Amino acid sequence: MDMENEPRINVTRSTMPPLEEYVEEIKPIWENHWMTNMGMVYKKLQRDLKSYLEVPEISLFANGHMALEMAIEAIGLKNIKGGEVITTPFTFISTTHAIVRNGLKPVFCDINFEDYTIDADKIEELITPQTVAIVPVHVYGNICDVEKIQRIADKYNLKVIYDAAHAFGVKYKGIGIGNYGDATMFSFHATKVFNTIEGGGVAFKNEAYKNPLHELKNFGIHGPEDASAVGGNAKMDEFRAAMGVCNLRRMDECLASRKMVADAYNTRLGGIPGIKLNKANPDATQNFSYYPIYVEPEIFGKTRNDIYNELQKHNIFARKYFYPAINEMSCYKDSFEQNTPIAHDVSEKILTLPIYEGLSQKDVNRICDIICSLR
């Protein structure tokens, strides 16, 4: 087959309900003309997500970034003079932007090599009198050491805000991951395992955060005639909420399909010298949100970039995710760089392969055949 005519496979493909189902869900919007400002569909999705994620409260946002940025502010951390936040450099840049845009200083802690999350054993040595919070990130659906992080936070009276953009629906020891820390941000972006086209949510249990989160995403408005805070506009509209309602109904089907893809990769790529697969935590459920491989060129014989380029020749688009590490990006490398050798190494050698609902066994085999041909 001519390579130019080979079917395109992206690293992900958005989950979407049948068109007829979505149309049925949005019909009431045409009847009541209520398109935004926390209407009936928003409230339905909010109830459904509280139940699915098994969290006490959740506030919905237009996107995950604003959800995280406003969660940090709602908890009372914005513009604390000299305030430092310990976080990971192995994440999407949004995580760090949310910290910096709140007037805080990111302090980068290295990751562990087992699951690529923040190394909890290295957090305490980075704490100073200026430290106000920890912002850890659950990566590829792998969860952080939530128990150790909480012990450290309790010891030093620090806030913990989790970035769970990759961990929708994951449970640890039977408890929804959104119950840990002071708040947890979920992303509902189109590329995520659950999407509302664009969207996000903040799960929390402290009722004191409810009004600040609501006001911050709604111009600071409190009641019909007053604004009690300086807020922005980050409300989720009814059309996005409707997509979420539809997609949430199909989560079991979506996860089963993704699991089949992951199992197929495991069968074909497991045991190949020089390719390290994702290691599942036996105490946590999986959501199969990403399929990362770590490539050791001195053993496999080719680099991560070699695999990436060869797949692209065949119209298959994997992703170097995350690359580069955040503290090596132009906007941060001269201001907030810390020594994080494992994060640097992993960012240079990690590749996420295509995984999404409906990716066929035939396509998985084609991807694996190309990778194996490079040995």
CA atoms within 13 A on the CB side of 56: 12
Interior angle at CA 154, CA 148 and CA 157, nearest 5: 135
CB 110 within 8 A of CB 347: no
Cα–Cα dist 375/354, whole Å: 20
- Asked if pLDDT for residue 1 goes beyond 50, the answer is no
pLDDT tens across 193-248, in order?
A: 999 999 999 999 999 999 999 999 999 998 888 998 899 999 999 999 999 999 99
The answer to whether the Cα torsion of 266, 146, 134, 126 is positive or negative is: negative
Residue 297 token pair: 């060129």
Indicate the pLDDT class of residue 4, thresholds 50, 70 and 90. low
Following DSSP, what letter does each residue of 318-371 receive, concatenated?
A: -B-TT-S-GGGSTTTTTTS----HHHHHHHHHEEEEP--TT--HHHHHHHHHHH
Sole residue written with tokens 């994620």:
53
Residue 304 token pair: 């991560």
pLDDT tens across 288-303, in order?
A: 999 999 999 999 999 9
Q: Give first-to-last CA distance, the chain, whole Å.
A: 22
Q: Stretch 269-283: mean pLDDT, rounded? A: 96
Mean pLDDT of the chain: 96
Q: Stretch 125-152: mean pLDDT, rounded? A: 98
Q: Which fold has domain 3-9+250-373?
A: Aspartate Aminotransferase, domain 1 (3.90.1150)
Indicate the pLDDT class of residue 3, thresholds 50, 70 and 90. low
pTM of the model: 0.96
pLDDT tens across 44-92, in order?
A: 999 999 999 999 999 999 999 999 999 999 999 999 999 999 999 999 9
Please tell me which residue, 5 or 108, carries the higher pLDDT value: 108
Other beta carbons within 10 angstroms of residue 338's beta carbon come to 14
Closest CA to 68 of 225, 201, 212, 217: 201
Cα–Cα dist 255/190, whole Å: 15
CB 355 within 8 A of CB 291: yes
CA atoms within 13 A on the CB side of 262: 21
CA atoms within 13 A on the CB side of 350: 25
Sole residue written with tokens 């941000």:
185
H helix or E strand, kind and range, residue 104: none
- Domains of the chain, residue spans: 3-9+250-373, 19-249
**Class (C level, CATH) for 19-249:** alpha beta
pLDDT tens across 165-195, in order?
A: 999 999 999 999 999 999 999 999 999 999 9
Looking at the chain, how many residues does it have? 375
Q: Which residues contact 225 (CB under 8 A, 6 or more apart)?
A: none
Residue 241 token pair: 């909420």
CA atoms within 13 A on the CB side of 270: 8
SS3 call for 356: coil
- Asked if pLDDT for residue 278 goes beyond 60, the answer is yes
CB 73 within 8 A of CB 100: no
Sole residue written with tokens 């957090």:
123
